[in-house]
Chain A
Amino acid sequence: MTFRIGKTLSSLALGLALATTALTPVAWAAGASDTDQERAARWHEIATSIFGDRPIAQTDSLVKIDAPVRALDAALVPITLTMPNDGQIKAVSLIIDDNPAPYAAKFEFGPAADPAELKLRVRVNNYTDMHAVVETQDGKLYEAKQFVKASGGCSAPMGMSDEEAMKGMGDMRMKFAESQPGKPVEATLMVRHPNFSGMQMNQVTRDYTPARYIDKLTVSAGNQKVFTLTGDISIASNPVINFAFKPDGKPIQVAASDNQGGHWQHSFTPPSPTN
């Protein structure tokens, strides 16, 4: 898979946001002036590099993106992907067109998944179109789009030292919502990991902290896969993913790895369903 489309660090110069007492993002509308045509051309280029010449049809039913129109915090933009057609969805990709590494995440679903609703938190570096592309079981592609106003999310300093940011790296928690017998269970997976973007400056050396991010994360219910996530620098630090799975009474296994060889595994026991 081509996972790094047009990754240019030229956008470093546009590293701008992080709201504080003083500054509002309005004046730093990087990418704000691009025309719809320019955006469409960029998307075409990105889509071709990821999906080749496979046709992508537009959809307003198979997948929907919910994101704040204007991000409150460019380094943590909550995204909800809604895919109501259970059984039809094989995978979903999230692409943030104007991020330095646009291909933010790909979720490939297994038999234990209920992909109806998926939430994750991303970094957004520019005013940008965001695309969700689903692949259905019959191998067809469908896209949905939303425009998001944010800037500087990838380069925003974390407000703590790298050492502090890496404390407890690989720790995980899982919260389970109350469930009913025979119904999918909603779960929240939290992973401690700085997900360094490679565009954040180290506070002591004043060099850029090398990118270190979760690149693969697999969630299984017993032996059945729920999903595999392929991730990149656009996922916010301390990743949190909300998803749903079909329980079979067995523990939930999570295996995560990062691009620098880190590997972590945890097991969680879902509560018994209540009526």
Chain B
Amino acid sequence: MTAPAVQPRAFPGQRALSRRGVLFGGLCLCCLPTLGRAAEFFTTEEVGPGIFVRKGLIVDATADNADAIANIGFIVGKTGVLVTESGGSLADGQWLRAEIAKRTQKPITHVVLTHVHPDHVFGAGAFEQDKPVFIGHAKLTEALSARGEFYRKRLIDLLGEARTGPVVYPTMTVADTAEVDLGDRRLTFTAHGPAHTTSDLSMIDSGSGLLFPADLLFVNRIPSLDGSLKGWLTEAARLKAMGPSRAVPGHGPVTVDLAPALADLTGYLTALRDGTRAAIAKDVSIEKAVDTVARDQRDKWALFDTYNGRNVTVAYQELEWE
């Protein structure tokens, strides 16, 4: 199915907003209290046999978009449905659950919590009634213990309690690799070392060969660093070595060719690393570094001005102790 996803863009180099995009960003969502009616503007796209993905908005969470900013979706297997990403809020998760019901009557047996960030885990509450296995990285439980309530309060401030949902913990954790069998296809999970966060879990679907790297792969939207810069470069190389040709990134188009997308990602991370190292070596202070490092990447990424300075701050702290 190829219904065009609405793709409001707010980044240099892609200024041309579609008319629907303008309406979407400028008028419609603003007056909608929940994602319920916004649903007609969202759509899932079948990106492989039985694999459906909804493109997240390339913006930050607002009251109007219910934090529906990540690429979320599901895989329909022989024995049941696996949710690849739950959504950014209870409202977003409920929307996804309704989408699943439109496509299949099979039970929802698995929900993947790809890492600790709110735009990827707060949809999980919508699936608790299905009593699925919640799959997460072995470090996810402690990361959610530390941050879950903190994120929840902030989301409540933005969306209200009813649309935010609970913090849901994994019931199956992956320390290294694990497999889930849906009868006609196997999902292979890999727990990654500190990279985007300290709880990144990726997945490969044997049915399609598609890689689901979650936020280990950002496309178009600037990567946000919250784990380890050096670790992320290592894990990016590992994803490449795993050999899939297509991937569903955590943010960006619903599918991409993995090699060029990883090249863009590592291009940014390398610029961040090398620029930050050079700043530290020259005794450039952190407050000057945030304005100078990786500037040549600015035209390549949406939300660069919002996140690059913070990425430099995180990178500086990691690299100054080298």
Q: Do A and B come from one complex?
A: yes
Give chain A residues whose Cβ lies under 8 Å from the Cβ of B142: 161, 203-204
A1 at the interface (CB under 8 A from B): no
A179–chain B nearest beta-carbon distance, Å:
12
Q: Are B283 and A23 in contact (CB under 8 A)?
A: no
A265 CB to nearest chain B CB (Å): 20
- Residues A22 and B226 in contact, CB atoms below 8 Å apart: no
Ranked 9 nearest A-B pairs via Cβ: A22-B119, A203-B142, A203-B146, A78-B287, A157-B146, A72-B309, A72-B310, A73-B313, A21-B224
In the complex, are the beta carbons of A18 and B150 less than 8 A apart?
Answer: yes
Q: Does B285 reach chain A (CB closer than 8 Å)?
A: yes
Q: Is the CB of B285 within 8 A of A24?
A: no
* Min CB gap A191→B, angstroms: 11
Contacts of A78 in B (CB 8 A): 285-287
Stretch at the interface among B73-81, B126-134, B292-300, B314-322: B314-322
Given contacts A22-B117, A73-B314, contact A177 B283 (CB under 8 A): yes
A31 to B321, CA, bound (A): 35
A-side residues, CB < 8 A to B, are: 15-24, 27-28, 66, 68, 72-73, 76, 78, 80, 119, 121, 152, 155-161, 173, 175, 177, 186, 188, 190, 192, 200-204, 206, 238, 240, 242
Secondary structure call for the B interface: helix
Given contacts A20-B226, A203-B142, whether A190 and B61 have CB atoms under 8 Å apart is: no
Query: Do the beta carbons of B117 and A188 come within 8 Å of each other?
Result: no
B37 to chain A, nearest CB (A): 22
Question: Would A68 and B88 be within 8 Å (CB), given that A21-B224, A160-B198 are in contact?
Answer: no
**In the complex, A226→B187 CA distance in Å?**
61
B269 at the interface (CB under 8 A from A): no
Report chain B residues within 8 Å CB of A18: 147, 150
Minimum distance in angstroms from B184 CB to a CB of chain A: 33
B286 to chain A: closest residue by CB = A78
Choice from A16, A19, A156, A177 contacting B153 with Cβ under 8 Å: A16
| Contacts A27-B154, A159-B146 known; 12 new A-B pairs at CB < 8 A | A20-B224, A22-B61, A22-B69, A28-B157, A72-B309, A157-B150, A159-B197, A159-B227, A202-B146, A204-B142, A238-B317, A242-B285
Are B118's CB and A201's CB within 8 A?
no
Q: Per a CB cutoff under 8 Å, which of A23, A27, A68, A203 touches B287?
A: A68
Bound form: Cα–Cα A16–B197 in Å: 19
Contact with A along B8-33 (1 / 0, CB 8 A): 00000000000000000000000000
Complex Cα gap A203–B117 (Å): 15
**CA A68 to CA B251, docked complex, whole Å:** 29
B61 lies within 8 A of A23 (CB): yes
Contact digits for B108-122, partner A, Cβ 8 Å, 1 yes 0 no: 000000000111000
Q: Which residues of B contact A21 (CB under 8 A)?
A: 69-70, 117, 119, 215, 224, 226, 251
The residue on B at minimum CB distance from A75 is B313
Whole-angstrom distance between the Cβ of B194 and the nearest chain A Cβ: 9
Interface assignment of B274: CB less than 8 Å from any CB of chain A: no
Find the B residue at minimum CB distance from A76.
B313
- With A21-B224, A204-B145 in contact, do A80 and B287 touch (Cβ < 8 Å)? yes
Residue of B nearest to A16 (CB): B154
A17 to B321 Cα, complex, angstroms:
25
Is A175 in contact with B283, judged by CB distance below 8 angstroms?
A: yes
Cα(A273)–Cα(B251), bound, Å: 51
Cα A264 to Cα B303 in complex, Å, equals 43
Nearest opposing residue in chain B for A155, CB measure? B150
What are 9 A-B pairs with beta-carbon distances under 8 A?
Answer: A22-B118, A23-B154, A66-B287, A73-B314, A78-B287, A159-B143, A159-B226, A159-B227, A160-B198
* Structural contact, A190 and B320, CB atoms closer than 8 A: yes
Residues of B within 8 A of A201 (CB): 145-146, 149-150
In the complex, the answer to whether B146 meets A23 with C-beta atoms within 8 Å is no
Contact A20 B118 (CB under 8 A): yes
B306 within 8 A of A: yes
Given the contacts A16-B154, A20-B224, A23-B118, A72 and B290 also touching, CB distance less than 8 Å: yes
Q: Are B157 and A16 in contact (CB under 8 A)?
A: yes
* B224: min CB distance to chain A, Å: 5
Residues in A neighbouring B224, C-beta threshold 8 A: 19-21
Contact B198 A188 (CB under 8 A): no
- How far apart sit A15 and B146, CA to CA, in the bound complex (Å)? 13
Question: What are the residues of chain B within 8 A of A203 when measuring CB–CB?
Answer: 142-143, 145-146
